[in-house]
Amino acid sequence: MKKNLLMTTFVFLLSFFIKGLFINKIPNSISLQEIDLLHIFNVAPAVNDFSFRFVSVVVTSMMTVLLFNLIFLKTKNILLSLSASVVTIVSPWIIILSRTLNLHIFVLLIVVGMIFFIKNRKVRIFTIIFLLVLIRLVFINNNFLSIKFESILPSLISLFDLRTIFFHGDPLSPMLRIPLTGYFLYIDLFMFFCGIYYLFLSNQEKKLTTTMLDLLYLGLFFFIIVPSDIIMTVRSELVLLWINIIIGFGYYYIIIFLKKVNVLFLLTFILIVFTNTAFYAESLINHFDKMNSVEWGYAEQATSKYLINNDKKQIYFSPSSDKAKRFLTFFEHDKKEYLTLQLNQLSKTCFGSNVICVLTEFDLNFINFNKNLLKINFGNDSGLPIYFIYPNQ
């Protein structure tokens, strides 16, 4: 009992540490989804305050702790439980999903929690299905008619395409696509097949096999009922969790096997895993933001910070800079009124005195103004300007 408590604490702290690293970076920008959630809870942080993201870190860490204890409850094998939970902690998809505050991480926590706490299998499955449908109706889309059944089969095939899982990631979601890797590490492909063998063919963990099949079925059910216009990473998160656990079993199987064969082989294997993990970490830290910065709010956040510090004049937004207006309205605690001008009003209003206009390149072309004459502009990590401040302040 004491050893299990110690390992549970270790799993939580490891998850909290890894997911808490660079909490104000990667991405170093708030998203519109986070703004909508923070509005619900009436939370309005400062422009550079990302402390609210610790909620995501705690939720995913709690999910990992429940997963560890669930596997230990079924097997009484601490090393097997630790292997599955640690692999879940460091997998690219769950790290990226936990980088921002979002509702989808709560789905993982709820499902794993229900599987752990509800002992009766029929009651457990019925309860989880009910909750998944409720989540779908309340938070995702309340119209089941939006489900496009003709697109389910191709999407499922894509979900189980090994190239997608281990090499490409979600092609429809730049926000969750990691440079040069998929949802998992490259070496995890081999570990996945090893995990399949260990769980389903070696016939060593019968109780655990039933639980894992339940998780897979629930994941497929959730994938089907979620609208097809939702990004695949979110729709398939329970299936990805299932794959993640299988990969963890594969690591356990290989470690035990190599330990019996030759310690040198085991050390070589550990070196390969470490190298692959370091490659992914470098891609995440140095390339993820730059590759996906267009999908985030870097330009809007920088624009808001500037305008908050220069808000003595009346601020106007063009229709094409409405996203910047939403960010400023969120960050400006005084809740001042910011007006949107129509295109035919830009010239008359913005050329007046005592005003600030937030414009895009499209707006400047419309009023026939050279963008190079405006020294104050804000863009994404790529450096290309998106919003221009007129006149120069």
**pTM, rounded to two decimals:** 0.88
* pLDDT at site 130: 93
Q: Are 225 and 131 in contact (CB under 8 A)?
A: no
pLDDT for 146 equals: 60
Question: What mean pLDDT value characterizes the chain?
Answer: 85
Task: Identify residue 350 by its one-letter amino acid code.
Answer: C
Whether 352 contacts 336, CB under 8 Å: no
**Tens of pLDDT along 106-160?**
999 999 999 999 989 999 999 999 999 888 887 776 565 566 666 677 778 888 8
Coil, helix or strand at residue 359: strand
Q: Which of 237, 279, 224 is nearest to 112 (CA)?
A: 237
Residue 99's pLDDT is 87
- pLDDT tens digit sequence for 185-209: 899 999 999 999 998 887 667 789 9
374, 392 contact by CB (below 8 A): yes
Domain locations along the chain: 2-292, 298-390
Shortest CA distance to 255 belongs to which of 197, 194, 201, 193?
194
For the beta carbon of residue 370, count every other beta carbon within 10 angstroms.
Answer: 8
Cis before 179 (ω within 30):
no
pLDDT per residue, tens digit, the chain (393 aa), is: 677 889 999 999 999 999 988 887 788 888 888 888 888 888 888 888 889 999 999 999 999 999 999 999 999 999 999 999 999 999 888 988 888 888 889 999 999 999 999 989 999 999 999 999 888 887 776 565 566 666 677 778 888 888 888 887 776 665 566 666 788 989 999 999 999 999 888 766 778 999 999 999 999 999 988 887 778 888 889 999 999 999 999 999 999 999 888 888 888 888 999 998 888 888 887 777 777 777 788 888 889 888 888 767 788 899 999 999 989 888 886 667 788 888 888 888 887 777 888 999 888 888 888 888 888 888 876 667 889 888 765
